[in-house]
Structure 1
Amino acid sequence: MTSLLRLLTGRPPAAPRTISRETVAIVLANGQRVEVLRVRDPRARRIKLSVDERGPRLTLPLRASEIAGQRFVIEHGDWLLAQLARAGTDAPGLQPHRTETLPLRGTEVPLRWQHARYLRIQTGEDAIEIAAPETVALKSLQRALRDFYEGQARADVGRWLPRYLPGLPRAPARLRYRVMSSQWGSLAPDGALSLDLSLVLAPPAAFEYVLVHELCHLIHADHSRAFWREVEQRCPQWRLQREYFRDSGRALKARLRKLIAADE
């Protein structure tokens, strides 16, 4: 009826209500300052505070005031700090010529900085070597680090994959690395395999488990008992690796995002 009335009277339709986002700083009861992504969502029915690898997020309905949202964050300050510590979002970012270690394959690897004309990141015998201009742009360094991590991930999968291919109905159609929010891997209907780039920061056994998990979806597309039997045949300690991701997964994803400033 409303649409018909607008048609007859010539009134333009109401402008759609869109989601707005902005980052605000909120001082908690203990005096600590926390940056929160404040999202005003017309679909929201109540104020909600959540934390993921991107950091804290405060969702407000259209009718909620900014002051009410701020009070909500302060009231839940203890919970928020505990979640931030668990998620690892307070980890330091990449600082040119200052960062001392980088995570790789479950350990903190020392960094060896060198002044050079061109930017280059590679592994040495006992350290990750970064050759960079003295005034290297942070964005350039972050892109180079992402490329370095992807190269390391491809090298790991390149060692593991040939071992599993003979027992599969077909090989993955293609392989790509992405920065994923919640998943660790996915297999598309066409056989394209995607893996979370932060897996290269995890212990190799955990990374390999995710690869096995996704490869077994080439045999069974679901998570049936038959699927888990295929996983266990190839990775007997898969439960241990799954527990690792439940305990440390969010911090792992957050660490990668902080280092390469991922916005996917």
Structure 2
Amino acid sequence: MKRPEFIDGNGFIAEVIRTHRRKSADIRVEEGAVSVVVPVDTSLERIGELLADKRRWIKEKVALHQEMTPPGSKRYVSGESFSYLGRNYRLKVEKGPFAPVKLVQGRLVVSVPLGAEQPHMIRNALIRWYKRQAETKLNEKVARWAPQVGVTVPNMSIKTFKSRWGSCTAKGELQFNWQIMMAPNRMVDYVVVHELCHLLRHDHSPQFWGEVGRVLPDYEECREWLKRHGHVMVAL
């Protein structure tokens, strides 16, 4: 996976996504996080100019998201605990130029400048980190479980869902909620197997659950665990 690239927009952090599939820039604000998709050879200076031109619009979109996001219990300060694959890791906030979250010696370390936007920046940095982990780990798990389910490895993407952990589209593409990465490994396996089995049966019939049970005999325990604890994982 390519190393993530970021630009400090003075009040927000923009992730730079370089691609061969675009000939012009596209600035996005999704879940309060800013990204700019550009052709691969676009200079950082040019990207900075694009962000400066749209700074007012970006800040308005970020502020709107903050207003619409229900206040949670997290303050995004050093010492707070965040779950990853069922284990809790303490957050360590360092003051300085922005640096994305890294898991170092059992701590989630992030560097952000001081300012009123610091908690928002830390939250977005954590979401970006979870999404990167989800892309890597879920691709690995799909490749591992697909042969056991009896299907070819499908296309996969990471999404944000409010009330589901995964989805199988009519075209056979699997979509996974990045927040499942807070659950224990076995629960992640269950969600992957569940969606892979939808490639065999696109329903929740007894035959479908029979396919899930053939691969994961303890699937009912996993499903019940997610029902009981799922609300805690979405409270980032």
Question: TM-score, normalised to structure 2's length?
Answer: 0.63
Counterpart of 1:169 (choices 127, 131, 151) is 151
Q: Distance in 2 between matches of 1:94 and 1:155?
A: 28
Counterparts of residues 56-67 of structure 1 (less than 5 Å): none
Q: Distance in 2 between matches of 1:181 and 1:99?
A: 27
Shift of residue 205 of structure 1? Answer: 0.7
Q: What is the aligned partner in structure 1 of residue 166 from structure 2?
A: 185
Q: Confirm or deny: 8 A CA contact 2:98 2:112 kept in the other structure.
A: yes
Q: What is the aligned partner in structure 1 of residue 86 from structure 2?
A: 106
Q: What is the aligned partner in structure 2 of residue 195 from structure 1?
A: 176
Counterpart of 2:217 (choices 215, 236, 248) is 236
Structure 1 vs Structure 2 CA RMSD: 2.2
Question: TM-score, normalised to structure 1's length?
Answer: 0.57
Counterpart of 2:138 (choices 148, 151, 157) is 157
Q: What is the aligned partner in structure 1 of residue 114 from structure 2?
A: 134
Q: Distance in 1 between matches of 2:112 and 2:195?
A: 37
Query: What amino acid does structure 1 have at the position aligned with 2:152?
Result: R
Identical amino acids, percent of aligned pairs: 25
Q: Confirm or deny: 8 A CA contact 1:149 1:200 kept in the other structure.
A: yes
Q: Distance in 2 between matches of 1:141 and 1:111?
A: 10
Q: What is the aligned partner in structure 1 of residue 228 from structure 2?
A: 247
Shift of residue 99 of structure 1? Answer: 5.0
Gaps of 5+ in 2: 1-68
Gaps of 5+ in 1: 1-53, 56-88, 257-264
Q: Which has the higher contact order (CA 8 A, sep 6+)?
A: 1
Query: What amino acid does structure 2 have at the position aligned with 1:146?
Result: I
Considering only CA atoms, is the larger Rg found in Structure 1 or Structure 2?
Answer: 1
Q: Distance in 2 between matches of 1:99 and 1:208?
A: 29
